[in-house]
Structure 1
Amino acid sequence: MTSQARYAFVPLAGRLGALLVALFLLLPLAALAQPADPASARAKVDSIRGELTQIETVLNNPAASEAELQRQRLRLQPLLEQIRILADEQAPRFEQAKTRLDQLGPKPDAKAPPETADVAREREAREKGFSEADELLKLARATVLQAEQLQTSISDLRRERFAKMLFAPGPSPLSPETWTATVTTLPSDLRASHLVFGDWLSVFSDALLSPRGVIVLLGFIGAIGLYVARARYLPRLSGRLAASETDSGVHCLYSALVRLIARAAPPALASWLIYAAFNTAGLLPPRIQPVILAIVYGLALFAFVQALADALFAPGEPQRRLVSVMESTARTVVWMAGWLAIVMGVGKVLEAWLQAIAAGLTLSIIVRSVVASFFALTLVVGLYRLRDNDEIEQEACLGPYVPVDGASLGPVRILSWVVGLAIILAVLLGYVVLATFLTEQVLWLGILAGLFVLLMQLIELGIGNLLTGDGRFALSLRAGIGLRAATLQKIAVVLTGVLKIVLIVVMIMLVLAPWGLESTDLLTSLRAAFFGFQIGGVTVSLSSIFFGALMFALGLAATRSLQGWLNEKFLPTTKLDTGLRNSITTAAGYLGYTAAVALAVSTLGFSLERLTLVASALSVGIGFGLQSVVSNFVSGLILLWERPIRVGDQVLVGDAEGIVKRINVRSTEIETFDRSTVILPNSNLVSGVVRNRVRSDRTGRVLISISVPRTLDPTEVRSVLAEAGADHGDVLKKPPPNVLFKKIGTATLDFDLICVVGDVDQVGRVTSDLNYVIHKRLAELEKPAAAAELTVKGLEGIEQSLGSIATAVAGERKAPPRSAAGKVKASRSRAANDAVMEDAEEAVPAKNGSAPDAGKDEAGGKDDNKE
């Protein structure tokens, strides 16, 4: 195909796809446009009612078998679906007939003038159509109710018979009469076995020499080849997985799945090949076929159980173990699972053999009792081997917790002990059917538990690794579709949760299925849960909930798109202010959300009348419990309609002042000047006191208050302030800047400069600019101050003393030697001089600045001077 042809094919494919979509959407409309024929609808209802009567007759027969009840249940299910569809189709026809009749109004009374002939004929025709539609709708709804009651009766009857059969007592295997009757009928049973299986073996040996033997031989060769391939390649696969094994849970899960398939598939396929070869060659007569089929199922069951236990517990390979148990526990569980499967498979083969030879009742009871006893003994032995080791438990208590033998399987072990003892007790008391059923349920629940653990880990690890890992699929989603890693992670979490819920529901239904709770129609139950059931005239289903949620999501997406288009495309082209734009966008959002809710509710099947009833019932609760929420919602509508506060306004509410950023349904967001957000309920803004600085206009007021020394000339200060305001470009000229001389203080003069700017957002910047300019000009007006000098008074006496001391010292150096009296006088004079010098040394620090000491030294100096 050339490039031109390819490009021509793309629009053609697009047009074909659009045409198919249009046809798909128009088909339901066309079906609705063609009203159903009332006569044919009545005939269908009558036919369904006749079949329901036949089913009811069969149910009233006490001799009806389980198979007959099952056939009637399968026959009833499509009839119930058909009558529901008919009832749904007749409801709009009834409403239409009622509307047409109401258009004519009430019939005039006897005193009023009679209607014209045309009106009377029209009224009669419409009344007839209304009565037919009403009768047909009531009949259809009554038939739906009858079918639902029959369905419930069949289920109750099947469960009742199942319970009677399960808990019906029979001959005990310990009774001598049972063994006597078995010994009596044993020779005839052996002859029947010889006849049935001897004839089949002779036919089989003769067939081996014929062309049919080639088919059987090919089947055996294929089965042997599968077993040989399993024995040869499974160790290699295990070694390869072990060599590349890491500690990641994803790799362990991958290894478990591979081993499960590799160990279970070849034996099951080999058994099926042998069965298919026998069946194709015509070597399976009706009596032998159940026995061979039981052998095939037994081999497949053993292989699957063994592979599942090995995949979960991995004996000998703790690094790939999915269940946290010790090595001895893992080996015991795998051993027990294998032997339980063997006992169950042998029991099914023996039951098929007894059915083929039409063995006596006592022999069947003994065989089932022996199989159930062996099963219970195997279970008890396995549980006994799982007992806790005292030494390991005591050692684990000394340090960090270590799971001891069987510790993590404690609840399962207790339940298994109870079931094992119950099986033995049921066998001894003669409840062989109950014992056989319990053995089947033990193995069935074990298989379900293993699959649940495996699938749960597959969902938990597989989905997350698939969508959020580094694989090709995740990279393709990121690169090709453009999904972000965070979005993929959210999708993985939601998808994982949904799949887990689905898995839990399915597992619960599978657990309850063998107990008679719709055990054979699991798909029917799932379909009924998905497509809905009736509650008070409203169909509740997973599909309706899903489509309702889908409609709501589409409505929200459309509303968000409309708001984005209004906010980013259309409203910016208008001259509307920011607050009015926000009001329009928010009102559009309210309308869109309301429409989305109405669309989702209509998809669920609720009418406006039911919604009105629900709203009236909830009005009391809304009035008391949701009073504040409703008050805030109504207050938000008032804010959007009256617009006393708009987005972008600068408001002051209590201690919070800032810019209004968003008006929501319940609250309003205000961003303060320190970049924090204050969330106020809408009712506070409507009923409280709010200062809106830009309610009328957005002009702002700049106020600068200063204090200057009294030495400055007030006229010069006034001129400086006025010139600073007038010279700024953002200050409005009308009104011009104004300077107020506010106060004459003791040492300062107080002035206010008042300016008006065009936008309140400019107040802070203009104030800062004016402060810089005013500070600079006032600094130029002030005279420079002289240098400060420090003068200390009161030290004249100390200076005179120091001068006399210096003169005396100079005179002593020039004087001649003296007499003894002179020496004594000189020593006294020297002592006096030393005292004066001490006083002088104490006065020196006072001269350096200590005021109290200076006063003391000054007094001391005066006293010395007097001396």
Structure 2
Amino acid sequence: MTPLLRVLVLVLAAALSGPLSAPMVQAQQTAAAEEKAPDYKAWEELATRAEEVLGQGRASDKALSELRGQLVDWRTRFLDAQGINAARIKTLRDQISALGPTPAEGETEPGEIASRRAELNRQLAELQAPGLQAVEAHSRADGLIREIDSVIRERQTSKLLELGPTPLNPANWAAGAEALRDTLATAYRELAEAWALPSRRASFREDLPATILFLTMAVVLLARGRRWVVLLSERLIQASERRGKAVFSSLVSLGQIVVPTLGILLLVSALATTGLGGPRLTEILFALPVLGLTLFAARWLGARVFAEHSVSRRLFDLSPERMAEARFHATWMGVVIALAGLLGLVGEFGQFPDEARVVLGFPLVVAGGLLLLRMGQILIAQSRVEPAADQLRPYRSRLVGLIGRASMVLGVLGPVLGAIGYKEAADYFTYPPILTLALLGLLMVLQRFVGDVYDLLTRHGEEESASDALIPVLIGLVLAILALPLLALIWGARVADLTEIWASFTAGFTLGGTRISPTNFLTFAIVFALGYTLTRLVQGTLRSTVLPKTRIDPGGQTAIISGLGYLGVILATLIAVTTAGIDLSSLAIVAGALSVGIGFGLQTIVSNFVSGIILLIERPISQGDWIEVGGVMGTVQDISVRSTRIQTFDRTDVIVPNADLVSGVVTNWTRQNLTGRVILAVGVAYGTDTRKVEKILREIGENHPLVMINPPPTVVFQGFGADSLDFELRVILRDINYGLSVRTELNHEIARRFAEEGIEIPFAQRDIWLRNPETLHRGAAVSAAASGPAEPAPPRHDDDPQPEPHDDFDGDAAASDGGESR
């Protein structure tokens, strides 16, 4: 085959493969979608069974929880299946949009376009079918899950409000004593039966050395381990020369939990090696480490929260007696919680009747209520501690007082409900409050530890503590948020409830037909952060390296850098939105509706923003210009998006909105160049040679180094004033920024030259004219006759000072400017 013929064959094969391969590609995509699609037949069976179970209402909570777990798995599959053929669907929609809008009613379009549109719509409907089916199945699964949750919550509520036997009834005491006796008897019987077996006794004798070793180690750790840890922690905190002593002391203090718990584990190991325990004893034996951990953790937590020493700073400002009392109550709260857990375990294993559970559990409820009552009083006492004279009462004190009052109320409510017979309600209002106080105390200890670590890393001293720094506060806030799920579990929330909230959060929400999930937000944040960082790096490079080497003025450099920053932020936003897969086209209607409200609410901000862009583009003012706007005169220091900062000549900053600079009248003294005119007004006495004054003023202006020769200084004879002959010296300065200093120097020179030339600078004069002086003479004569002969007046000289005129004389007087007295 010749090369030319081979090329023709290849071209013909390529031309024919296009129409033939399109159905094959579509078939392959359909097959792949079917593989990803869930098994709707199996789903239909599960959904039908779930609906039947919910309709009958006889399933247990455990069975409902298992069924709910299966429904959650299916719901996750349906959520993933909603994105089947998403890429192909987007392509088809773009193709349909390329054909133009659909003809209106009564209009037609060419047949080829109509047939092509119909074919694309058919393919689109086929590709959308699996996703729509997944959406419908997801809604059904979600509805069934909500129904199961509703049933379980209703059962929990009814159980909480169920009235049972009262522990105050003596008839029920026998049931409690009998249940306790049966438990002890069963444990003794298990032990006796095991000892009766020769193999068990032989195994016990063989393992006796290991048992004694474990028991010895357990006794030593339980008896002295905590004391050793406390001493080590105190030595670390007292070593003042050691940095980070509070951090290391806190870490070492955890040994107060670890070491005794290790002793419990050794004790359990020692008892387990005997091989004499039965099922009930083994169950209790394996629960001892958890119960011991609860007790030791409560003791450690009380010692850290209400510590008087061995810590960086105290959390409570109470007397030593109150602090010791609080530590005591915290320890016994741990004892109550541990005994309540042991009672629940034994009661479930031994199948105690309700009477026995009520009678045996009521003393623990009463003890827990009393502890809550006393702890509440301590918290209220802390809230009433007066702050320093120069400080306000912190908000934390008010919060502590509120928690203390709630603790006291619950401490009374729990035993009262238990005495009536509401056992579940009594337990609910006793044990969760104790655990809540423990959780809050743990948060306080962790926040203090974070502050200590921050002090260590930032090398703070004793005087400048980091307890009020931003980073420790933010970390404490994060810890508080992370503690919310634990708080919900304490107060009866199920793990399934928390997983449901998390599933709803990760699934996101639908807005304008677009599903937005936390993954989209995370992707958007990361991409935007990278784009923003890159923009800042480019701005920094231009500001420090490139632009200083150009001839662009500082204002132009600032405009370029600011414009590049805005452009970079816009591009980073668009790229982040595209990368996150957020379809903004479906949000256009929502955005349009929101823009109306935003436009009305933020019209001033938007106006200033647009004005800032106009200022950066047109540059009527630049950084460093001397301007005057709205009665404010000063130098432009910075032009931002919303406003411009002007520094006045008295070194105060004035923030001017950009809209005022665009729409108002602005005087820019230094925009085009630095030259500017200064006018000095001066007056001379009547009778002075005006030509001589003009010559002197011109010489003064020409001799100053900052005054321009072209155009030369000019002297203007303004006219004849009331007190002087008025002149003006007008000069053009090379740099108007020195206008005030030049004006001062020129005035000094004018005063010096006028003094040398004998030219007088007059002051304002006022002459008095008496309209009827004879009235004054008559009044003076009458006064003299009434008072007797007057002493002769001393002779008057022309150089005697004249008396100042007053208004308290008889007769009319009129003042006139200029002329002589008449």
Shorter-chain-normalised TM-score: which range?
Answer: 0.7 to 0.9
Q: Give the structure 1 partner of residue 442 of structure 2.
A: 451
Residue number in structure 2 paired with 1:135 = 129
Deviations 1:163-199 (A, max 9, x none): 3344334444566875787899999878755543433
8 A contact 1:313–1:334 mirrored in 2: yes
Greater share of residues in helix: 1
Q: Pick from 270, 286, 292: which aligns with 2:285?
A: 292
Offset, 1:139: 2.2
Q: Distance between the aligned counterparts of 2:178 and 2:204, measured in 1?
A: 40
2:38 is equivalent to residue 46 of structure 1: yes
Query: Structure 1: which amino acid aligns with 2:448?
Result: Q
Counterpart-to-counterpart distance in 1, 2:372 and 2:243: 29
Query: What is the alpha-carbon distance in structure 1 between the residues aligned to residue 229 and residue 466 of structure 2?
Result: 36
> In the alignment, what sits opposite 1:99?
94
Equivalent AA in structure 2 for residue 67 of structure 1: K
Task: Answer with 1 or 2: which has the greater Rg.
Answer: 1
1: CA distance between counterparts of 2:363 and 2:135? 55
Structure 1 residues 678 and 510, CA, compared in 2 at 3 Å: closer, same or farther? closer
Q: 1:622: Cα distance to partner?
A: 3.8
Q: 2:299 corresponds to which residue? A: 306
The match for 1:24 is: none
Choose the corresponding residue for 2:584, options 597, 608, 618.
608
Per the alignment, residue 151 of structure 2 pairs with 157
TM superposition shift of 1:371: 3.0
Mark the CA change 1:228 to 1:731 in structure 2 (over 3 Å): closer, same or farther. same
Amino acid at match of 1:505: I
Identity level (%) = 29
In structure 2, do the counterparts of structure 1 residues 684 and 642 end up closer, same or farther at CA, with 3 Å as the change threshold?
same
The alpha carbon displacement at 1:63 in A equals 4.2
Render the CA deviation track for 1:793-846: whole Å, top value 9, x for unaligned.
xxxxxxxxxxxxxxxxxxxxxxxxxxxxxxxxxxxxxxxxxxxxxx99x98x97
Separation in 2, partners of 1:556, 1:320:
41
Find the aligned partners of 1:598 and 1:540 in 2 and give their Cα distance: 16
Bigger drift between 170-179 and 221-230 goes to 170-179
| 180-189 vs 324-333, which moves further | 180-189
* Partner in structure 2 of residue 146 of structure 1: 140
| Distance in 2 between residues matched to 1:176 and 1:519, nearest whole Å | 39
Q: Please give the alpha-carbon distance, in whole angstroms, between the structure 2 residues aligned to 1:742 and 1:184.
A: 123
CA distance in 2, matches of 1:121, 1:275: 82
Contact 2:708 2:734 in 1 (8 A): yes
User: What pairs up with 1:193-272 in 2 under 5 angstroms?
Assistant: 193=187, 195-202=189-196, 206=201, 208-209=203-204, 211-213=206-208, 216-230=211-225, 233-234=228-229, 236-237=231-232, 240=235, 244=239, 258-259=252-253, 261-272=254-265
The match for 2:59 among 54, 64, 72 is 64
Change (3 A) 1:70 1:354: same
State the aligned residue count.
731
Question: Could you say if the C-alpha distance between residues 338 and 52 of structure 1 is closer, same or farther in structure 2, counting changes exceeding 3 Å?
Answer: farther
Cα contact 1:651–1:659 (8 A) shared by 2 = yes
The equivalent residue for 1:273 is 266
- Aligned pair 1:370/2:359, yes or no? yes
What are the Cα deviations for residues 537-593 of structure 1, in whole angstroms up to 9, with x where unaligned? 666666655665555554444444444444454444554455544443433333334
Equivalent position SS for 1:735: coil
SS in 2 for 1:152: helix
Out of 668, 671, 677, the position equivalent to 1:701 is 677
How has the CA–CA distance of structure 1 residues 212 and 678 changed in structure 2, closer, same or farther, with 3 Å as cutoff?
same
How far, CA to CA, are the matches of 1:298 and 1:48 in structure 2? 48
Aligned-partner SS, 1:46: coil
Higher mean Cα deviation, 174-183 or 558-567?
174-183
Deviation sequence 1:409-448 (CA, Å, 0-9, x none): 8655654554454444444444434444555434423422
Alignment of 1:303-702 (within 5 A): 303-314=296-307, 322-356=315-349, 358-359=350-351, 361-362=352-353, 365-379=354-368, 382=371, 414-459=405-450, 461-470=451-460, 493-519=469-495, 524=499, 528=503, 531=506, 533-536=508-511, 545=521, 548-549=524-525, 551-598=527-574, 607-609=583-585, 612-694=588-670, 698-702=674-678
Question: Taking structure 1 as reference, are residues 540 and 312 closer, same or farther at Cα in structure 2, changes over 3 Å only?
Answer: farther
CA RMSD after TM alignment: 5.1
Deviation for aligned residue 1:374: 1.5
1:495 positional shift: 2.9
TM-score (normalised: structure 1) = 0.69
Q: CA 1:320 to 1:199, structure 2 compared with 1: closer, same or farther past 3 Å?
A: farther
Q: Quick check: 2:536–2:565 contact (8 Å CA) kept in 1?
A: yes
> What's the offset of the Cα at 1:748?
5.7
CA 1:649–1:238 in 2, change beyond 3 Å: closer, same or farther?
closer
What is the deviation of 1:96? 2.1
Q: Which moved more, 1:179-188 or 1:725-734?
A: 179-188
CA deviations on 1:485-535 (whole Å, 9 max, x unpaired) are 99x979x8443233223332333322221444233675x468548745325
Q: Is the 8 A contact 1:52 1:76 kept in 2?
A: no
The letter of the residue matching 1:101 is: I
Give 5+ residue unaligned stretches, structure 2.
Answer: 1-26, 761-790, 804-822
SS at match of 2:82: helix
State the Cα distance separating 1:230 from its structure 2 match: 0.9
Which residue pairs with 1:836 in the alignment?
none
**AA matched with 1:441:** P
Counterparts in 2 of 1:112 and 1:664: CA distance versus 1, 3 Å:
closer
In structure 2, C-alpha distance between the alignment counterparts of 1:318 and 1:110, rounded to whole Å: 85
CA contact under 8 A between 1:268 and 1:300: conserved in structure 2? Answer: yes
Q: Residue 686 of structure 1: CA displacement?
A: 3.2
Q: 1:47 deviation in Å?
A: 2.6
Q: How far 1:271 sits from its partner (Å)?
A: 1.8
Secondary structure class of the residue paired with 1:631: helix
Letter in 2 for 1:269: L
Structure 1: segments with no counterpart, 5+ residues: 1-34, 475-484, 785-838, 854-867
- For the residue of structure 1 that corresponds to 2:318, the secondary structure is coil
- C-alpha distance in 2 between matches for 1:414 and 1:728: 82
Between the aligned partners of 2:508 and 2:730, the Cα distance in structure 1 is 76
Q: Equivalent residue for 1:168?
A: 162
Superimposed CA distance per residue, residues 603-625 of structure 1 (whole angstroms, 9 cap, x where no aligned partner)? 77754336543443234434543
